[in-house]
Structure 1
Amino acid sequence: MRPPLRIAVLECDTPLEGTHRRYNGYGGVFRALLSASAKALNQPEILDPESGLDISCWDVVNGDAYPKLEDLDAVLLTGSRHNSFDDIPWINRLVEFTQQILAQDRVRILGICFGHQIVGRALGAKVGRSEQGWEIAVCGMDLTEKGKELFGREKIRIQQMHQDIVFEYPPNTISLGSSPICAVQGMYAPGRFVTVQGHPEFTREIVTEIVQNRARLGVFNEHQAQDALGRVGDEHDGVAIGAAFLKFLLED
């Protein structure tokens, strides 16, 4: 049996109280997703759902410690309420570390939302605020031919929570899909990285808590909040996307 996949989750934010209490950080949220995805993959001889994942968590916002690449097979960059385009120390360190990973060809990257944008920024693409505004709750993502192959779907539905985007595809990057609000919904480079703008790890409860909190703070207006809350429980492909991530990490 092959050794466990060693995945470092770089936690780029702290969840709201309810989610944090349930999962103990975004690392716990991704543990839940990847465990469910390993079961859905249903290939225990290749990836045992119980023993096949070795996941470590690293708070890169409040600490400056990063994992050693020689101890890893993959790095996962989480989402965040912070701006991927900000020129501040912890984000600059994260971009530099991402560039270190991209400069070698063994350790692979998974980028989620903010993490997707950080990969884009590390590769020289413009990232910033979209003129289209927010994309929230379960939305459709139209897939390219590569996206259909990678995710095993004609189209996917995924939880969203962003108003920042990657504006263009970096050189030598393959498009995975788009939506009416965001043209760069996923990026791929064989043997190197897979990123998505959406949140496969988000559940109805997680998104509900975020939407309600942001409505209270005035970030979302009443229409945005009610529209999002009407879609948070829609069926989505989070676990299937997680399974596609694992297949990518297991490829020779």
Structure 2
Amino acid sequence: MSSPLRIAILECDTPVPEVHKRYNGYGGVFSTLLKSSAKTLHLDPETDLEITAFNIVDDDKYPKLEDVDAILLSGSKHNSFEDHPWILRLVEFTKMVLAQDRVRILGICFGHQIIGRALDSKVGRSDKGWEISVCDMDLTDKGKELFGREKLRIQQMHQDIVFSLPPGVVSLGSSPRCEVQGMYAAGRFITVQGHPEFNGEIITEIVKVRSTGGIFTEEMAKDADDRAFNEQDGIAIGAVFLKFLLEE
């Protein structure tokens, strides 16, 4: 792996207004996470990481693979199973990255689902409803090995899921509302259904917008807000992502 580690963030959405104002897009949200995680690994976030962002919803420009070491697919309010032109382009780009063996991939929520779709797994609405705010993710043996703990506490914000593991892919964990909470292929990709990049402030802003818009009921919003600032493992998850990208 080259130094610095070159990570291209594919912004699959624009954050809600207050979050966008604070972070300048999901590129800023993920940069904050990755730089905080880098410090826990004794990396210099300013010299050891080179982070770029690409708004792939409003623009069709993608990074050249020879210019990066890793691709990160962000979350999104959009549906991973729909056939909008930009989503189809993203699926095809993801297939291209998966077809080579140098550039690695991180998939978060919508990005996790896009990788599942690119590998021909079914993605779509869960019949178990929304999973919101800090929740437990029960880890498989591989998940425990990678994350170094028995379970993960991770922010959630989804009602879409990957229904089954693609062939040859290892499960990292599950929850009562989502059987495929993470996927792993050695030297190729790691995904999580949850949002390690979200903190309590970001979750409460999203909940407020979606509650005002009638997406969340008052009861759902209160339950999410009550758990939004619970202890969670986002920075530790980011550190595992970076170790995965750096390993030979």
User: What is the CA-CA distance between 1:9 and the residue it aligns to?
Assistant: 0.2
Give the stretch that moved more between structures: 2-11 or 128-137: 2-11
Residue of structure 2 in register with 1:174 after alignment: 170
AA in 1 matched with 2:136: G
Q: Please report the RMSD computed on the Cα atoms of aligned residues, expressed in angstroms.
A: 1.0
The 5-angstrom pairing of residues 95-110 of structure 1 reads 95-110=91-106
AA in 1 matched with 2:9: V
Residue of structure 2 in register with 1:216 after alignment: 212
Unaligned runs of 5+ in 2: none
Deviations 1:139-162 (A, max 9, x none): 000000100111111111000000
Report the Cα distance in structure 2 between the residues aligned to 1:229 and 1:22, rounded to whole angstroms.
20
Report the Cα distance in structure 2 between the residues aligned to 1:40 and 1:223, rounded to whole angstroms.
37
Report the Cα distance in structure 1 between the residues aligned to 2:70 and 2:46, rounded to whole angstroms.
18
Report the Cα distance in structure 1 between the residues aligned to 2:3 and 2:179, rounded to whole angstroms.
38
Report the Cα distance in structure 2 between the residues aligned to 1:28 and 1:52, rounded to whole angstroms.
17
Q: Does 1:28 align with 2:28?
A: yes
The 5-angstrom pairing of residues 30-45 of structure 1 reads 30-42=30-42, 44=43
Out of 128, 135, 139, the position equivalent to 2:131 is 135
Q: Secondary structure at the match of 2:180?
A: coil
Residue of structure 1 in register with 2:16 after alignment: 16
User: What is the CA-CA distance between 1:3 and the residue it aligns to?
Assistant: 1.1
Q: Does 1:240 align with 2:233?
A: no
Q: Does 1:57 align with 2:53?
A: yes
Q: Secondary structure at the match of 2:60?
A: coil
Residue of structure 1 in register with 2:5 after alignment: 5
Report the Cα distance in structure 2 between the residues aligned to 1:19 and 1:31, rounded to whole angstroms.
14
Report the Cα distance in structure 1 between the residues aligned to 2:58 and 2:136, rounded to whole angstroms.
34
User: What is the CA-CA distance between 1:50 and the residue it aligns to?
Assistant: 2.6
AA in 1 matched with 2:13: D
Q: Does 1:115 align with 2:115?
A: no
Report the Cα distance in structure 2 between the residues aligned to 1:153 and 1:96, rounded to whole angstroms.
35
> Identity over aligned residues, as a percent?
69
Q: Does 1:207 align with 2:200?
A: no
Report the Cα distance in structure 2 between the residues aligned to 1:3 and 1:115, rounded to whole angstroms.
25
Q: Does 1:73 align with 2:99?
A: no
Give 4+ residue runs of structure 1 displaced > 3 Å after superposition. none
TM-score, normalised by the number of residues in structure 1: 0.97
User: What is the CA-CA distance between 1:40 and the residue it aligns to?
Assistant: 1.2
Residue of structure 2 in register with 1:198 after alignment: 194
User: What is the CA-CA distance between 1:49 and the residue it aligns to?
Assistant: 2.5
The 5-angstrom pairing of residues 153-192 of structure 1 reads 153-192=149-188
Residue of structure 2 in register with 1:88 after alignment: 84
Unaligned runs of 5+ in 1: none
TM-score, normalised by the number of residues in structure 2: 0.99
